[in-house]
Amino acid sequence: MKLQDRVAIVTGGASGLGEATVRELIAGHAYAAIFDIQTDRGAQLAGELGERAMALVVDVTDEDSVTGGVRRVVERFGAIHICVNCAGVPFAAKTVGRNGEPFPLALFRRVIDVNLIGTFNVMRLAAAEMVKNQPDADGERGVIVNTSSGAAFDGQVGQAAYSASKAAIIGLNLPVARDLSEAGIRVNAIAPGLFDTPLVATLPEKARAALIDTTLFPRRIGQPEEFARLVRHIVENSYMNAETIRFDAGARMNQR
């Protein structure tokens, strides 16, 4: 799908990988709507990027919030062609903690709620708009890109909830791509390794260094712009469908 004048929703678009994606899509002359719960940062970014950007306070886990957000995007930009899901939370706990306490179930539910159910909530509501689009010359009406993680394959200690949520993102690819194939809508996922975002900045230096040590080449942390360029490639390359791309400089995570 050509980017020029297409309309994108980017969840988690106020920060990190989502922010870089918003910038890349707008640099490609698309329109982008930021769906995020970080109100100030989203509005600031949209203000910086000008009239092709808009920021909405949307909680991906909330049906009414996303429905309202989708409606406002269609009112302002006329359609939705691209949906990139980057909203996510990393909360970690061990299955049985240091003092014998079991993994807090509410925490497990929260991670699944944001990372998995939030992603599906946005995809289904965005896709319901995409099916109304006029197909392009290739018969394409829309494209969805979801964010998984290397933890979907190599979950580390404490990542039971996070890994399960990210593995489930991979599980969405094929059935949803099949559901939407007649409408000409593609679904793909990116499974990033370690990227330099506010989420990762909270890690202690030692933990960051240990993760960088798992890369083959290049031996460094990934930059959000590199993630954004892959999103753009997936959008523009119409033959890419129902696939998960590991994007991690060959990194395979250690046990801890």
Active site residues: 162
- Residue 1 or 22 with smaller CB distance to ligand NAD: 22
- Residue 2 or 41 with smaller CB distance to ligand NAD: 41
28 vs 49: CA distance, rounded Å: 12
35-37-39-44 Cα dihedral, nearest 10 degrees: -50
Amino acid at 165: S
* Min dist. Cβ of residue 113 to ligand NAD (A): 8
SS3 content of the chain, % helix, strand, coil (to 5): 45, 15, 40
Please calculate the CA angle 51-57-63 and round it to the nearest 5 degrees.
120
Query: Does 199 engage in binding with ligand NAD (CB under 6 A)?
Result: yes
Selected from 10, 22, 37, 111, the binder of ligand NAD by CB under 6 A is 37
- Residue 140 or 248 with smaller CB distance to ligand NAD: 248
Selected from 18, 28, 69, 142, the binder of ligand NAD by CB under 6 A is 18
- Residue 9 or 127 with smaller CB distance to ligand NAD: 9
What's the token pair of residue 126? 């965005």
* Min dist. Cβ of residue 192 to ligand NAD (A): 4
* Min dist. Cβ of residue 152 to ligand NAD (A): 9
Selected from 43, 74, 79, 89, the binder of ligand NAD by CB under 6 A is 89
What's the token pair of residue 38? 């970080």
Q: How far is CA 68 from CA 39, 56, 63, in A?
A: 16, 9, 9
- Phi and psi dihedrals of 120, rounded to 5? -65, -35
Q: Where on the chain is the footprint of ligand NAD (CB under 6 A)?
A: 11-12, 14-18, 35-38, 58-61, 86-90, 114, 118, 147, 149, 192, 194-195, 197-200
